[in-house]
């Protein structure tokens, strides 16, 4: 019975990710249609919660890897390329967002990186979903297909449909959180995007019968009843969003889109359960042993309230409409050096990049060595490798902070309190 709890945790994590990260990916894509400084408003709006939203993807990955190893063995090897593309896009998207937010003025390059990476991450997610639903080749519980088996007409349609869905969620969120030009544009774009989403849902729904090799069991009355209840809920939620776009109160479109997303996910689960890897791998076959299931359910279950609390607190703090408050520029950082010592050597950007690259490669190498290479040979390698990685990171941190303290980087007092030091 524990496998059902694991499956519920996985569905909850994936559902929360689609709902929460879906709207900020949509806002990132919509920022490409904005001009100039207005793009920065889009990124500042998302900067308040994007990292909390993506934490659900981490929980989903942990649950999938530890609780459903059969899925990891048959599904993930078949979608490695779009999965890697999605992860790289998420990294580049976060970099563009944070660097744009930290810049004193609008930077077109960072804004375009934020928008383009949002598109790439969404497309890769759609390719992963479509490739999985199309049925990847497997033999003996392992993937046996080629590197591009995920690229099918149905996966391309899934990618396009997910782009439209996330754009719809982004427009609904912008209407709820903004005023002025962004608010008006979101209200105008909402209904056409809703129509596009409905068309995509119909095409993908009927196309699933052709693309998915699984035999759907719609001859069971309970399954059919639950399925049509979920579909009716999605239609009602879509009608609520349609009526709310361009009208007050502004929260209704987003509430309708979220409800439609939840109902759509439930309809897909109802139609396919208990098969979780087409064409015929069931939940019971893909699950790990009972002991691992119990450990996972307790561990991830205890993390869930923390993540919920974090998300809820972020939503509460940043509730209401977004307003860009002008900030006074900070005074120049006052660096103080000792007259009795020579000015410390400042490494070039190339030297800093090489140093950080070496530390990163060292850390990745230690982890890979401890977990993969010697996993079944010497049990002491794993704790030693992790200890070396942690110790190296801690030493690098302490040395860097002590050097900065020696050079006076942390001294922000404009007054010269030390007669032996002078401000520069």
Task: Spell out the SS3 assignment of the chain.
Answer: CHHHHHHHHHHHHHHHHHHHHHHHHHHHHHHHHCCCCHHHHHHHHHCCCHHHHHHHHHHHHHHHHHHCHHHHHHCHHHHHHHHHHHHHHHHHHHHHHHHHHHCCCCCHHHHHHHHHHHHHHHHHHHHHHHHHHHCCCEECCEECCCCCCCCCHHHHHHHHHHHHHHHHHHHHHHHHHCCCHHHHHHHHHHHHHHHHHHHHHHHHHHHHHHHCCCCCCCCCHHHHHHHHHHHHHHHHHHHHHHHHCCCCCCCHHHHHHHHHHHHHHHHHHHHHCCEEECCCEEHHHHCCCHHHHHHHHHHHHHHHHHHHHHHHHHHHHCCCCCCCCCCCCCCCCCCEEECCCCCCCCCCHHHHHHHHHHHHHHHHHHHHHHHHHCCCCCCCHHHHHHHHHHHHHHHHHHHHHHHHHHCCCCCCCCCCCCCCEEEC
With residue 421 as reference, give the H or E element that holds it. Answer: strand 421-423
- Per-residue pLDDT tens digits for 127-171: 999 888 887 777 776 777 787 888 888 899 999 999 999 999 999
**Low-confidence winner among 3-17, 34-48, 124-138, 285-299 (lowest mean pLDDT):** 34-48
Handedness of CA 408, 410, 413, 417 (dihedral sign): negative
Whether residue 318 is predicted with pLDDT greater than 90 in this model: the reply is: no
Give domain limits for the chain: 2-225+271-317, 336-423
Q: Which of 47-56, 239-248, 339-348, 376-385 has the highest mean pLDDT?
A: 239-248
Helix (H, G, I), strand (E, B) or coil at 1: coil
Mean pLDDT of 355-363: 69
**Low-confidence winner among 88-97, 133-142, 358-367 (lowest mean pLDDT):** 358-367
Q: What does the longest C-alpha to C-alpha distance in the chain come to?
A: 88
Mean pLDDT of 320-346: 55
Which pLDDT does position 417 carry in this prediction? 43
Whether residue 228 is predicted with pLDDT greater than 70 in this model: the reply is: yes
Q: What is each CA distance from 271 to 130, 157, 397, in whole angstroms?
A: 16, 19, 51
**Residue 323, Cβ neighbours under 10 Å: how many?**
10
What residue has token string 């080629």? Answer: 146
What residue has token string 């979920």? Answer: 230
Is residue 22 within 8 A of residue 166, CB to CB? The reply is yes
The pTM of the whole model exceeds 0.75: no
**Low-confidence winner among 1-10, 132-141, 263-272 (lowest mean pLDDT):** 132-141
Contacts of 301 (CB under 8 A, 6+ apart): 5, 9
Mean pLDDT of 108-117: 86
Mean pLDDT of 232-258: 91
**Which tokens is 237 given?**
């939620």
């Amino acid at each position: 019975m524990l496998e059902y709890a694991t499956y519920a945790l996985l569905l909850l994590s994936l559902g929360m990710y689609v709902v929460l990260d879906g709207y900020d990916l949509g806002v990132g894509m919509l920022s490409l249609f904005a001009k100039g400084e207005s793009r920065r408003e889009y990124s500042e709006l998302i900067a308040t919660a994007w990292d909390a939203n993506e934490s659900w993807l981490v929980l989903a990955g942990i649950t999938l890897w530890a609780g459903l190893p059969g899925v990891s063995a048959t599904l993930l090897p078949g979608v490695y390329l779009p999965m890697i593309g999605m992860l790289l896009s998420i990294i580049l998207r976060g970099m563009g967002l944070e660097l744009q937010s930290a810049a004193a003025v609008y930077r077109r390059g960072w804004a375009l990186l934020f928008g383009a990476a949002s598109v790439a991450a969404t497309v890769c997610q759609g390719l992963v979903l479509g490739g999985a639903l199309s049925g990847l080749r497997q033999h003996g519980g392992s993937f046996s297909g080629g590197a591009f088996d995920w690229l099918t007409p149905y996966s391309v349609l899934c990618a396009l449909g997910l782009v439209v869905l996330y754009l719809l969620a982004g427009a609904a969120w912008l209407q709820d959180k903004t005023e002025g030009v962004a608010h008006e544009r979101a209200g105008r774009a909402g209904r056409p995007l809703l129509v596009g989403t409905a068309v995509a849902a119909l095409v993908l729904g009927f196309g699933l019968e052709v693309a998915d090799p699984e035999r759907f069991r719609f001859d069971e009355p309970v399954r059919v009843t639950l399925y049509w209840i979920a579909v009716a809920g999605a239609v009602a939620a879509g009608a609520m969003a349609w009526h709310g776009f361009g009208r007050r109160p502004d929260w209704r479109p987003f509430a309708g889109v979220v409800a439609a997303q939840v109902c759509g996910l439930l309809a897909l689960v109802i139609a396919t359960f208990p098969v979780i890897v087409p064409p015929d791998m069931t939940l019971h076959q893909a699950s790990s042993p009972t002991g691992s299931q119990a450990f996972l359910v307790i561990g991830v279950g205890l993390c869930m309230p923390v993540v919920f609390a974090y998300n809820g607190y972020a939503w509460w703090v940043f509730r209401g409409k977004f307003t860009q408050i002008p900030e006074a520029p900070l005074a120049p950082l006052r660096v103080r050096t000792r007259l009795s010592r020579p000015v410390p050597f400042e490494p070039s950007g190339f030297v800093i990049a090489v140093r950080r690259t070496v530390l990163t490669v060292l850390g990745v190498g230690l982890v890979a060595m401890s977990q993969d290479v010697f996993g079944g040979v010497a049990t002491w390698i794993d704790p030693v490798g992790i200890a070396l990685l942690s110790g190296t990171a801690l030493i690098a941190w302490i040395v860097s902070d002590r050097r900065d303290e020696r050079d006076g980087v942390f001294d922000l007092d404009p007054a010269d309190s030390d007669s032996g030091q002078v401000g520069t």
